[in-house]
Structure 1
Amino acid sequence: MPRYKLTIEYDGTAYVGWQRQKNGMSVQETVEIALKAFSGQDLTLFGAGRTDAGVHATGQVAHVDIPREWRADTVRDALNARLREEGGVAILGVERVADSFDARFSARKRHYLYRILNRRPPPTVLKGRVWWVWKPLDVEGMDRAAKRLLGTHDFNTFRSTHCQAKSSIRTLERLDVVRAPGDEVHVHASAQSFLHNQIRSLVGSLKLVGEERWSADMLVDALEARDRKRCGPVAPPDGLYLARVDYA
């Protein structure tokens, strides 16, 4: 069957996450319902990353096999016509790809953005889309500390106790902390793959550095301990975005 690559944007606030679950509506199921309305068949959508409840995406990638050949823009527009009724999910692009393409296993790098609103007043229009931290943050100190985590390490400290990965060793290629225009602080993270809750765990610990409650050495000590109990409080899902997935 013809295989199609979908680039998807969504506001994860109202969803239980990307993956289909029994306890509520997921992004995957929402798009699959639109696919059935379009194709008349039950089709399975495979995503590049399993984002948690409340996590957003501006560049999630998925693939699906559709029994009949269609123009890519026809698939995109037909799905969006149905998704507009639900709200919260949009198909940014559709491409016809080779049968060997796999949204998850063909991915070479995943890029995430974490948004922190760093100001005294709480968010209004950005509520649910940023992590509100009202204490002033030492962004330069956070960035210096973040750079010490780059490379290949055992990130067992910075993963969920429910993480199912067989190995906690990962190669972190980018971890930048920058002051964005306005009152936001952005954390950019890139790697081929991440552990469950790894980015939110890293951001939560970096916040302690930004508040000068931790030093950069303490962050490295937590990493080297390979002990989940040494992790700082995990950042909430609100500010996390799957921004882009790269393929060869």
Structure 2
Amino acid sequence: MRIALGISYNGSGYEGWQSQLSGNTVQDRVELALSRFAAQPVRTMCAGRTDAGVHALMQVVHFDTPLQRETSSWVRGTNTFLPPDIAVQWARQVPDEFHSRGSAIARRYAYVLLESQVRPSVEAARVGWAYRPLDGAAMRQALPFLLGEHDFSSFRAAQCQAKSPVKTINRIEISQRAAYWRFEFEANAFLHHMIRNIMGCLVAIGQGKHPPAWLAQVIAARSRDAAAPTFSPDGLYFLGPLYEEGYGLPARTAAYDWMP
């Protein structure tokens, strides 16, 4: 049978999602835990690979297994062998044609940013940081330039393996709660470092270094050199993919209620 899992993790102690020789990745820890629980090797495919230091509220993976077990057992049993900063949130049996990456119709991220003259402490590695005040109106005026289908080469990392730089951003929302800003993104897919590079530009606009219309020039340039430096991974959270309702998979986890 094919099983899908929703997984949350604090990525600050790991070298990203994808398995590495060091063994210090989220995928390495998840597959080790699954294999110990199943008493046989288990390999997973994820909905979206996250970089070192990036967190996830609902990464979705799938794997195939001959074992017949209650879905709740995959949650409790796997969590027994996982470290405290990684946890399976739910498990579902899915059709054989389901693919955690290929079946996703959209992906969602949030970036949480602290605006303060003092660096983060208790929330260190969990939020980004802006030392200078931010102009929310200016940042929101820049958002329409990003919406829709564009060539996002200006926000693409050199090591990006995507076949095309053309992506479609469906939604961007900016909200503020006291000193904390939340930027939420939804698109059909994202390029490597795309959100962190967009964040660098939005913060530059919010701090008055560029006008909102500058973002249109950055997009039109189709050159990484035109955009701002890549922003910190600390405040970036993979909120998870979206699937057709027929699969019956959760769209959120309890961690959504903790986020600022």
Shorter-chain TM-score range: over 0.9
Deviation string, structure 1 residues 22-73 (Cα, Å, up to 9, x no partner): 2441111101000111111111111000000000000111111122111000
Moved more, 69-78 or 17-26: 17-26
**TM-score, scaled to structure 1:** 0.96
Query: Aligned Cα RMSD in Å?
Result: 1.0
Whether 1:21 aligns to 2:20 is: yes
SS in 1 for 2:92: strand
Q: Which residue of 2 aligns with 1:185?
A: 181
Contact 1:147-1:176 within 8 A present in 2 as well: no
**TM-score, scaled to structure 2:** 0.92
Q: Which residue of 1 aligns with 2:29?
A: 30
Match of 1:158 among 155, 159, 167: 155
Report the alpha carbon displacement of residue 182 of structure 1 after superposing the two structures with TM.
2.6
Corresponding letter in the other structure for 1:146: L
Unaligned runs of 5+ residues in structure 1 are: none
Corresponding letter in the other structure for 2:108: H
Counting only pairs closer than 5 Å after superposition, residues 55-70 of structure 1 correspond to structure 2 as 55-70=54-69
Contact 1:113-1:187 within 8 A present in 2 as well: yes
Deviation string, structure 1 residues 209-234 (Cα, Å, up to 9, x no partner): 00010111211101100011011011
Contact 1:170-1:194 within 8 A present in 2 as well: yes
Contact 2:23-2:29 within 8 A present in 1 as well: no
Q: Which residue of 1 aligns with 2:97?
A: 100
Report the alpha carbon displacement of residue 16 of structure 1 after superposing the two structures with TM.
0.5
**Ranges of 4+ aligned residues in structure 1 off by more than 6 Å:** none
SS in 2 for 1:213: coil
Whether 1:89 aligns to 2:68 is: no
Unaligned runs of 5+ residues in structure 2 are: 245-260
Match of 2:228 among 229, 232, 235: 232
Contact 1:7-1:59 within 8 A present in 2 as well: yes
Q: Which residue of 1 aligns with 2:254?
A: none
Match of 1:245 among 241, 248, 252: 241
